[in-house]
Structure 1
């Protein structure tokens, strides 16, 4: 072989190697869509911070591949969310979208995103429709189905022997799912069932109705800033000492500093709390507090799990997210250590998981926090999975 031919071949091999290296390091675009403005912005921000925490720990990579995270604000408006989803899919060509803070947003974009064979890694909203008949093999939910936390609280209310309960929730899909979940395990007739506009922050009329109903207890679902407003007004009306307040997503790491000591004793339901003793959970809480200077909420925890899921799946496919069948299989395997402990996807790609009851207490650092006081359901499947054809 001549020297010129050898040199040409060597140069060609170097070029191919360089091209392969560049291709291997091509960033994967991931769209993050959350509510990042308005009264509920803390929910989307905690989701974003939880996801970013793992990215930062991994040097900006998931599965060993650089990630370009495209952050978008749905503004809690379905019309805006549809435009954002279309931009992410058609202009940015993202193979993966994560986040999705509220069920009205999930229902607005779910079919479009999954019909376009873009993987939807939901890290909060879990409406009943997509757990059931409208499920998709392209959805993977790392949070919970909307009824589940309320089901745990409903069982708690039954165990406590409460006979006369008023329930309150925003008038949208998640609110209806939450109330349905509560009633699934609390069989007594409700004193009142009140639904309020999604952006309502003044609950004076509803609180007046509570006094008239004289309930044994009150059950409420108000996430983010809605929960802060509700809990503060509930306390100011002098109701905390009259009617035990049972909740889902009213009291958490986001709302407790704003609500203050009047939150002590409030009951909540959920899949995770900062006092979990597993090594993965404790490491997550410690890292989050060091990075952001605050206790993580469940929104951050379930979004951190979304990042862990993607980290595992992208590594399994060697960064080749264009191989959708392989990526789908890798996601389904859920081969990662969740902050909640054991993690597995059910047939509908919602988690099989425990559901716990927590109480607001002061922790060993004298901070308002959630303490796990019971686990009504272990390795629990949601109520709609049998309707899913997957």
Structure 2
């Protein structure tokens, strides 16, 4: 047997060792199918984010012939309603009733923090196609947790570096009051050395920003940095335009392919930080964008691409282990290897299960066909590993 040594001893000890080896051999057989539980937000103001992730994942499975790693794939999709308690109940159902082999999701970090322990305690691999909180990247890293997006701080750090490089002296910061919002502000501050004129946190799912915009108008910063995903971003951008403000806006997830169909011209010219954009020039990305637009009649965003990559990651790991889903150590090694062609191009995992990748400044543009998308302006970081990986005790 590969990588297994049987040492002959005397009598019963030798027989025991032999039978243990035979039992191991019999157990190492391919499963008859792969079951994946996808848990994302599919209702409320942020539903479009979960819909993009679900659609991106399902598109990859469809392109793989309904299989993952050569095995028939059963994909179970549930709505976490952006409620941590609801998410825990539903993920436990997927683990105990459906007995899924992998859990993919969620979108929001507060939901991820709620489900991470029950999933990983069950020794089931949890693959996040979006949320990448700092608290799970360092000392609390977990061998059953992988991220196909980024560590939350990194996409926000892009705007901080750009603000610093462009000489902005005073910046107003605006984010929702939950883990990802705090990571956003921390990420921006990592490279920005100027003055923070205000650091404003609003409740998650806030849709009225009149008081914040009035404060911005009074303070007159050189730039605004904001992280407002989903419906929050839609309303903020519309209200910003209505307020007649002309202050440069840097952001992450406030203006992206999930929000642009609603924001439209109000978002054109606004900047964002990302690990990807629809116009990223790789052959696999061009094919993905065309296939996604054909299937769903909309421009894919990072939520869709990262979930698509999550499916390809699972496919590569199941293939590498020849369908033996019971061998968790081999599955982890295969996931860590990331032996698939990511839509983003160059990509690998750090020891903490978070990606090492390039990051870009993007800008909202209106395409000749009337649709809106983010487009790459410049590369800001190359092969960038998150700063928390050094605190993780896991090894590659």
Would you call these one fold, judging by a TM-score over 0.5? yes
User: 2:208 matched to which residue of 1?
Assistant: 202
**Over aligned residues, Cα RMSD in angstroms?**
1.3
* Runs of 5+ consecutive residues of structure 1 not aligned to the other structure: 1-19
Cα drift, residue 177 of structure 1: 0.0
Which residue, 337, 341, 345 being the options, matches 1:337? 341
Q: Distance in 1 between matches of 2:370 and 2:209?
A: 30
User: 2:358 matched to which residue of 1?
Assistant: 354
Cα drift, residue 57 of structure 1: 1.1
Q: Distance in 1 between matches of 2:206 and 2:369?
A: 34
Cα drift, residue 255 of structure 1: 0.9
Please give the secondary structure, in 2, of the residue aligned with 1:285: helix
Cα drift, residue 364 of structure 1: 4.3
Question: Does 2:294 align with 1:290?
Answer: yes
Which residue, 302, 308, 327 being the options, matches 1:323? 327
User: 1:145 matched to which residue of 2?
Assistant: 151
Cα drift, residue 365 of structure 1: 3.2
- For residues 244-278 of structure 1, the C-alpha deviation after alignment (integer angstroms, 9 at most, x for no partner) is 11110011111112111121110000100001111
- For residues 89-146 of structure 1, the C-alpha deviation after alignment (integer angstroms, 9 at most, x for no partner) is 1222112100211000111111221121100011010000011111101111001110
User: 1:257 matched to which residue of 2?
Assistant: 261
Q: Distance in 2 between matches of 1:302 and 1:357?
A: 18
User: 2:23 matched to which residue of 1?
Assistant: none
Question: Does 2:382 align with 1:378?
Answer: yes
User: Are the counterparts in 2 of residues 25 and 66 from structure 1 also a CA contact under 8 Å?
Assistant: no
Q: 1:123 to 1:27 in 2, by over 3 A?
A: same
User: Are the counterparts in 2 of residues 308 and 336 from structure 1 also a CA contact under 8 Å?
Assistant: yes
Cα drift, residue 367 of structure 1: 2.6
User: 1:7 matched to which residue of 2?
Assistant: none
User: 2:63 matched to which residue of 1?
Assistant: 57
User: 1:225 matched to which residue of 2?
Assistant: 231
User: 1:100 matched to which residue of 2?
Assistant: 106
Cα drift, residue 180 of structure 1: 0.3
Q: Distance in 2 between matches of 1:212 and 1:39?
A: 29
Cα drift, residue 24 of structure 1: 5.7
Q: How does 1:172-251 map to 2 (within 5 A)?
A: 172-239=178-245, 242-251=246-255
Q: Distance in 2 between matches of 1:153 and 1:199?
A: 23
Give the aligned length: 367
Please give the secondary structure, in 2, of the residue aligned with 1:69: strand
Q: Distance in 2 between matches of 1:97 and 1:37?
A: 19
Spell out structure 1 runs of 4+ moving beyond 4 A. none
User: 2:22 matched to which residue of 1?
Assistant: none
Question: Does 2:138 align with 1:132?
Answer: yes
User: Are the counterparts in 2 of residues 48 and 99 from structure 1 also a CA contact under 8 Å?
Assistant: no
Question: Does 2:371 align with 1:367?
Answer: yes
